[in-house]
Chain A
Amino acid sequence: AQTVTQSQPEMSVQEAETVTLSCTYDTSESDYYLFWYKQPPSRQMILVIRQEAYKQQNATENRFSVNFQKAAKSFSLKISDSQLGDAAMYFCATPGGSNYKLTFGKGTLLTVNP
């Protein structure tokens, strides 16, 4: 079974600054993926970034990057040069099982202050 823990219910950042959202997980899978999803107030879930567990290199997508520590089962999201549009709920998730169902963390609500 998979578990995902996000220990920061809320975070805030000043516009143009950098913020890091934390996530730890546990999984019985030997080969797995990790995801960060963004859910703005409009509630459409959008994939921000993915990380393959077998890759040592941390994933990067423009201003978004991850710090993946496999041994520690840690998967944090770093947002650089934060923008007002980054304000949203962020969910960490990992799939598991034969049907790839996602297990989500409880989410971190990010506020970006102008």
Chain B
Amino acid sequence: SAVISQKPSRDICQRGTSLTIQCQVDSQVTMMFWYRQQPGQSLTLIATANQGSEATYESGFVIDKFPISRPNLTFSTLTVSNMSPEDSSIYLCSVDVVSSSYNEQFFGPGTRLTVL
């Protein structure tokens, strides 16, 4: 299993500013994922972050808007840049843990972002 923490848990930000969200895992993992969950909606994958390489972004998400760092195997950050009210969402990180027979994803508690 994996225990994941995120900081901040919530924030209220002004339009045009940026926020960096931190994700810390209690064990070394290869793959980390960043998801966005808009109010009342399902989870949409933003990007996959592997240590030592550039993040891989999904369609509709770009590095300039959502830069990601992955400096080591237990930590990652997601920055939401030049925010607008449409960026108000819950942002979740997750990690993929490989056991002997299957992969399982564990999720952090999420960061609730409100942009005014």
Inter-chain contacts of A106 with B (CB < 8 A): 41-42
Inter-chain contacts of B112 with A (CB < 8 A): 43
Q: For chain A, what secondary structure do more than half of its interface residues adopt (helix, strand, loop), or is it mixed?
A: strand
Count of residues in A whose CB is under 8 Å from the partner chain: 21
Contact for A101 among B45, B102, B104, B106, CB less than 8 A: B45
Contact for B102 among A37, A46, A52, A107, CB less than 8 A: A52
Count: A-B pairs, CB below 8 Å? 52
B interface residue numbers (CB < 8 A to A) = 31, 33, 41-43, 45, 48, 50, 56, 90, 92, 94, 96, 101-107, 109-110, 112
A interface residue numbers (CB < 8 A to B) = 33, 35, 37, 42-47, 50, 52, 91, 95, 99-102, 104-107
**What are some 16 contacts across the A-B interface (CB < 8 A)?**
A33-B103, A43-B90, A43-B110, A43-B112, A44-B107, A44-B110, A50-B102, A52-B101, A91-B42, A91-B43, A99-B56, A99-B96, A101-B33, A102-B33, A102-B43, A107-B41
